[in-house]
Amino acid sequence: MSQPLMVSATIPGPSPAMASRWQYLDNVRRHTGPFTDPDMFDTSEAAVAQIEKMKILVIGAGGLGCEILKNLALSGFKQIHVIDMDTIDVSNLNRQFLFRQSDVGKSKAECAAKFVEKRVKGVSITPHNCKIQDKDEDFYMQFTLVICGLDSIEARRWINSTLVDLVDEENQDSLKPLIDGGTEGFKGQSRVIYPTITSCIECQLDMHAPRAAVPLCTLATIPRQPEHCIEWAHIMAWEQEKPFPKLDNDDPEHITWLYKKALARAQEFNIPGVTYSLTQGVVKNIIPAIASTNAIIAASCCNEAFKIATNTNPSLGAQENYMMYSGNDSIYTYTFKHEKKDDCPVCGNLARGLDVDPNLTLQEFIDSLAARPEAQLKKPSIRAQKTLYMQSPESLRLQTAPNLDKKIGDLVSNGDEIGVTDPSLGRVDFKYKLRFTSDFVSKDKLTTNGDAN
């Protein structure tokens, strides 16, 4: 066990109490290393203090979120916000270490923020007990960096497209690196995204295998597995019998109802293996989660955040941007560059600015689009927040045709985004951000007022 290979010396005693709290961080913050980028790295007092001024947003205060908050607080970040709409459940306690039994039922964001603020002196953590979709662009604009510890693909896609849309070429601060982590059992991944510059979550959607679905008819007539019986109870029996007004996955009474239904069906078909735990797992689509994997992935995300914020070493992002981790069979990581997709519906298709006279009618505007070299549209359909004009299906064409004679200024506001599709474009489509070239006064101020909504 002992090896001959060591610099011979003895261990010094404990450091004197005068040593500063951040001495270990300062070892790398205040000293240049062999891999630091000389153009970027700066050991001055002002540069070191920079991290304390950065606002960083943590999305999710669950298994990853708890770890992320702890890690950021101990990486020198001082202004942290955390957003999560969930409340604490007893099954969180095996990994979400900022919560105790007595916290069950309380807001995750609030509990987590309070705990870390109390433990780490000088850090400020602002909780937001709501959905990410409840916040507007101005909210997201205030942060330098965003770190996600989420379990839903939908939420990831939402924040991704929000941050891509936030990028404004005339405002350097509008570009916010997005760091995302995810785990399942002993496996996980972390990735760094520079919105609009590198491969985004939408470009990487194929990295998430969709949940395998079983044909409805199998559930209805030829079940073979315990999961088939549970899905049958979940999708069909519940709807037929509606034992409670609305299915609540977290209500044990509801799960018990489904479990009994599934069990009876399994017995009818001689299928073994329906248990309460399996029922809960299938209905809630439970993904196994443990503290250690969350620790690995969260720390990987925060390590990248720290490097991006301090330039103490090169980070993932511009080249390699994705780390896959698996601890099932030994330990295996694969760190690679996921390429940006040109046809990505979110970042491959950024809105271009387009000057338009608001006094044009929609028909005139569409005609002008056809003349644009990049478009050359034959049968364009077009929408803003509302549908402006659809070439087909016929019912929509008829419903939207009256818009053709309306003025642009009556249909949308200056700065609104429109989306244009055309069968002749194949997979491509266009988004334009409209810039009005003249003032627009609506004839009918009372009803339209130039606002799309």
Q: Residues 66, 111, 148, 217: which is the catalytic one? A: 217
Determine, following the binding rule CB under 8 A, whether residue 302 of this chain makes contact with other proteins.
yes
Give the x/- contact pattern for other proteins in 101-140, rule: CB under 8 A.
Answer: x----------------xxxx---------------x---
Among 130, 318, 370, 441, binds other proteins (CB under 8 A): 318
The C-alpha atoms of residue 113 and residue 91 are separated, in whole angstroms, by 20
Name the segment binding other proteins (CB under 8 A); options: 71-79, 106-114, 364-372, 440-448.
71-79
Nearest approach, Cβ of 66 to other proteins (angstroms)? 10
CA nearest neighbour of 406 among 353, 352, 355, 452: 452
Contact by Cβ (8 Å): 302, 72: yes
Name the segment binding other proteins (CB under 8 A); options: 77-85, 286-294, 364-372, 439-447.
286-294
Nearest approach, Cβ of 109 to other proteins (angstroms)? 19
DSSP structure class, residue 245: S
The C-alpha atoms of residue 374 and residue 427 are separated, in whole angstroms, by 14
Q: How many residues bind other proteins (CB under 8 A)?
A: 191
Annotation says 217 is catalytic: yes
Where would I find the beta strands (DSSP E) of 337-412?
352-356, 381-383, 387-389
CA nearest neighbour of 194 among 216, 204, 179: 179
Could you give the angle at the alpha carbon of 31 between the alpha carbons of 29 and 36, nearest 5°? 80
| Cβ-based neighbour number of residue 446 at 10 Å | 6
Give Cα 87 to chain centroid, integer Å: 19
| Cβ-based neighbour number of residue 138 at 10 Å | 7
CA distances from residue 94 to 88, 90, 159, 185 in whole angstroms, order as listed: 12, 8, 28, 13
Nearest approach, Cβ of 26 to other proteins (angstroms)? 9
Determine, following the binding rule CB under 8 A, whether residue 400 of this chain makes contact with other proteins.
yes
Nearest approach, Cβ of 206 to other proteins (angstroms)? 9
Determine, following the binding rule CB under 8 A, whether residue 31 of this chain makes contact with other proteins.
yes
Q: Which of residues 180-239 bind other proteins (CB under 8 A)?
A: 185-186, 190, 194, 196-197, 202, 205, 210, 212-218, 220-227, 235-236, 239
Among 335, 359, 361, 368, binds other proteins (CB under 8 A): 335
Determine, following the binding rule CB under 8 A, whether residue 1 of this chain makes contact with other proteins.
yes
Nearest approach, Cβ of 78 to other proteins (angstroms)? 13
Catalytic residues: 217
